[in-house]
Structure 1
C-alpha cells in the first residue's frame, strides 16, 4: 500500500497501558517487598511510564498479565529488570560538596593524627550504598587517593553497591561523557581521569589507580541479609532512603549505623535524617552522623 503500512505490518500502540487501582496496589506491595521502595499514590504515572515498554516487550497486553508473569516462580530475573526500570539513577561527581569539605577539613586530618598516635591502622574502608552509575564512589576514591596515595603506607578500599544491575554495569565501566568533568576539581581530573581519543573522543574514563581500589556488588538495602560485612570508616547512603517507607527506612538506617566503626561517619542526603531510628547517633555536620559516644571534640549536638 503506497504511503501506508503493508499487509504484513503489525502496528502496536506505543502509549502507556491502563493500570487499575487494584493493579497499582499489587505493584506497590511487590516493589516495597522486593526493594523497600514505597510508591505513593502520586507515583502511579511513574510506574506506568517506566513499565509499559517492558510489558509490551514481553508480548503482554496488560499490567495484570505482567504482574502474574513477574510474580511467577522462576521469573526472578524479570523482577530484577522491573526494579531496574523503577530505580532513579540521578547523580553527579562531587555531589553535595560540603560533605567532601568535611572529609578534607575534619576526617582526613583526624585519621592522620590517630594513625600517627597508633590509634588507627592505616587502612580505610568506605561504602557507597546506592552508588548509581558510579559518580559518588569514584569521587570518594579520587579524594581518598589524593590524600592517602599509593605508596604512602595507607590502604584504601571503596565498596560501591546498588540495586540496579544496569546502573552497576555503567559504574563498573567507569566511562562518562566529557561534560561530566565540569564538576570534578581540576587537580583530581588531571590526576585520575583519562581523556578519550579517536573512537572514545568526547568521553573520559577512570584511570587505573581508581579501578584498583573500587569494588562493585549488587546489594538490596531493604534486605540486610545480603549486605557487606563491616566495619567501615565511612558509609555514604545519600538520596536513597527517601524512596523507602518509614519502617524500611528506620530498619536500614539502624543497620547502616551498625556497619560503622565506633569512630566512623554516616553521610545522608540533604533531605534525609536519622529520625525514627533507635540508634544512639549524633549529628556532627549537616547530614553527617557518628556514634554519640565517639563524637569528636568541638562537634555540636543537634
Structure 2
C-alpha cells in the first residue's frame, strides 16, 4: 500500500497540521498588530487547533502559505475570517452579578436623583465593548428597561460591539438555548424573553422591547479611529483586555475613559485593572472606575 505523503495528509485532514516556531512568531506579530491581542508561547496549540481547518479548506499546503495568503493586499476579508477563528466567545447572562447590583443600588438611583434636579438629561447611552454573542448587552438592556421603562420619559440606547463577525451575527439574532436562562433573574426573564414553541422549542428569544434599544457594530478595540463617539454613561469592557499586549491595553483603557462623562462608569473584568492607562480615573468599587476630572488650575494634585 502506498504511504500517504505529508501534503496529502494535510489536505485530507489526516494528522496534525505542523506550525514552526518561526511561523508562530509571524502570526503572533500579525494578530497583535491587527487587534492588540498577544498570543503567548502557550497559545501555539490554540492557534493550530483553530486555524488548521481553515488552512485545509483553502487547499493550502502549510501555515506559511496561509500567512502569505492572509497578508496579501486585497485579502482583508480573510484576515477578518482568521481573527474570527481566534476569538474566544465565552460569556453568559448577568456575568459578574456584583456589577449589576452596583447598577441597581448606586447608579440607577443616582441617575434618577440627578435627572429630578435637572442635572442630567433622561437619556442613557451604554456601550458593551466586547459583547461576544450578546448575553452582556441584553442583560444590560433588561436592567435598564426594568428601571427606566418605555413611557417613563427615559431614552435608553445600548451599543453592542465585538471584533468577531460570527459572534455579532449571533448577538443580532437574540436567540439562545433555554439553558442559558439559568442566570437571568426570574422577573426579567418573564418580562423580556420569549419562549420558543413548535420548531423553536428549547430556545428563547429576546423580546421586541429589548431589541428596540440595541444596535450592533463590528469594532476593533485596537483601532480607536473606528470606535463609536461618546459620551457613554456606562462602558462595559470585561474580560477582553486581559488578552492584549501591555501597550495596546494601555491605549485602549485611556481611550475608553475618554468616552465617559465625569459621572460615567467603566466596568472591567474581575482579573483586569487600569494599570498602565494614562487617563485620570478613580476606583469606586472592585473593577469599576469613574473618570476623574483634572484638578482646577492652581490646585495641588492629590
Q: TM-score, normalization: structure 1?
A: 0.93
SS in structure 2 opposite 1:249?
Answer: helix
Quote the offset at 1:13 in angstroms.
2.7
1:50-72 per-residue CA deviation (whole Å, 9 max, x = no partner) reads 00000000001100000000111
**Equivalent residue, structure 2, for 1:157:** 157
SS in structure 2 opposite 1:263?
Answer: coil
SS in structure 2 opposite 1:236?
Answer: strand
**Equivalent residue, structure 1, for 2:185:** 185
SS in structure 2 opposite 1:64?
Answer: helix
Partner Cα distance (2:67, 2:278) in 1:
36
Partner Cα distance (1:124, 1:115) in 2:
11
**Equivalent residue, structure 1, for 2:272:** 272
Unaligned runs of 5+ in 2: 1-9, 295-302
**Equivalent residue, structure 1, for 2:104:** 104
Partner Cα distance (1:80, 1:279) in 2:
30
Moved over 4 A (4+): none
Partner Cα distance (1:214, 1:226) in 2:
19
Partner Cα distance (1:11, 1:140) in 2:
45
Quote the offset at 1:15 in angstroms.
3.4
**Native 8 Å contact 2:90 2:132 kept in 1:** yes
1:156-194 per-residue CA deviation (whole Å, 9 max, x = no partner) reads 000000000000000000000000001000000000000
**Equivalent residue, structure 1, for 2:297:** none
Q: TM-score, normalization: structure 2?
A: 0.93
SS in structure 2 opposite 1:260?
Answer: coil
Partner Cα distance (2:175, 2:75) in 1:
31
Quote the offset at 1:73 in angstroms.
1.0
Partner Cα distance (1:97, 1:83) in 2:
29
RMSD between aligned residues? 1.2
Q: Is 2:60 the partner of 1:44?
A: no
**Equivalent residue, structure 2, for 1:220:** 220
Partner Cα distance (2:37, 2:232) in 1:
25
| Greater Cα shift, 271-280 or 88-97 | 271-280
**Equivalent residue, structure 2, for 1:139:** 139
**Equivalent residue, structure 2, for 1:197:** 197
SS in structure 1 opposite 2:262?
Answer: strand
Q: Is 2:281 the partner of 1:281?
A: yes
Q: Is 2:78 the partner of 1:86?
A: no
Alignment length, in residue pairs? 285
1:34-59 per-residue CA deviation (whole Å, 9 max, x = no partner) reads 11110010100000000000000000
Quote the offset at 1:293 in angstroms.
4.1
Partner Cα distance (1:16, 1:84) in 2:
21
SS in structure 1 opposite 2:176?
Answer: strand
Q: Is 2:141 the partner of 1:130?
A: no
**Equivalent residue, structure 1, for 2:63:** 63
1:116-141 per-residue CA deviation (whole Å, 9 max, x = no partner) reads 00000000000000000000000000
1:177-219 per-residue CA deviation (whole Å, 9 max, x = no partner) reads 0000010000000000000000000000000000000000000
Partner Cα distance (2:52, 2:204) in 1:
33
**Equivalent residue, structure 2, for 1:72:** 72
